[in-house]
Amino acid sequence: MSHSAPGSRCSSPSSCSCVGRVEWTPYAAFGAFTSLYGRNHSRPERAGMQVVAGGFLTLAVTLGVVVSLAPESRWLVVVLGALLAAAGSLTSDAYRWHPPGPLFLVFAFAVCAMVPAGPTTVPVAAAVAASSVLVSLLVSHVGVLTDRDAWRRPQLPAPRFRDALEAPGARAHLMRHVVALSVSGAVATGLGWQHPYWAMVAAVTVLSGPDLTSRLTRGVHRVVGTVLGLAVAAPILAWSPQGVWAVLVIVVLQVLTELVVGRNYAVALLFITPLALMMGQLVHAAPAGPLLRDRLLETVLGAIVGAVVLLVVPDRLRPPGPMRRA
């Protein structure tokens, strides 16, 4: 393998393969999720939203790699992942992200935290993710090259953290994130499952959405879509592509994900599921059978925990009552 300088030319999953650093592919893939944001907004608003979201995605990747250096990091991932979900939910509301929620932040953090890394990997991961964000921005706005009149200065959104925190039910929803991810991650880790973050990501998915009905619907979509996605993943894992072929498969799956995720989440999981499994296989190959089984079990666990927390924790938390006198 070549030993390029950190982040020197790796700005997308395919370029990671070109420089002989296939293990950098997850860092580039998560930066590329920047292109998902602001799809229904005007070009200046979309550019501003993508700049902010891309910055937070890069931060999540970097934080994940830092956590991976700690001993017994699996439990640390559960604690910090739960806190990151709550912080990411608040940040999403404050910046009015579309798609909303902390799903991609938690996904990026948890995957990178579970990948073995060394201290020198931290700046590499940050540079690769940031480069991928820049490429995503260029691709998302390449249309201005043919229509110069369409160019407008990007409008960076002004965060409204106070409004987001004081919105009805906001504090309760932040608590839901902490509880759901802590419980799902702790159960999966305690059972010795190899990818406890799959349960955490599934729990985040259930908590996304504007109301209870839409959130529970997303949970059903997550489970059904995962089952169908495993049927797509099975022949890919049986093929077991390596090197450039593996990276090309990931690129195709990511493009398909970005094309449909804004329209139908269950359909998008046909591609998200094999995409997640292939990224894991790049850095730590595992037998296909147990891998498919764990993906299903952990997804169901996270969806159930998320749904239970939604139903148990009310939108309006009761203020603490007066202390009783002895």
Name the residue ranges covered by the structural domains of the chain.
13-141+167-312
DSSP string, 293-322: HHHHHHHHHHHHHHHHHHHHS-SSPPPPPP
pLDDT digits (tens, 9 = 90+) for 58-89: 999 999 999 999 988 899 999 999 999 999 99
d(CA 268, CA 228): 10
Looking at the predicted structure, is the pLDDT value of residue 325 above 50?
Answer: no
**Which of 139-153, 182-196, 279-293, 309-323 has the highest mean predicted lDDT (pLDDT)?**
182-196
CA distances from 298 to 64, 138, 185, 222, 240 (A): 20, 36, 9, 11, 22
Looking at the predicted structure, is the pLDDT value of residue 12 above 70?
Answer: no
Instruction: Kindly report the pTM of this predicted structure.
Output: 0.85
Residue 2 pLDDT level (bands cut at 50, 70, 90)? very low
Dig out the tokens for 189 from the structure: 């880790």
Dig out the tokens for 282 from the structure: 């790049």
Across 176-184, average pLDDT:
97
Sign of CA dihedral 61, 65, 70, 72: positive
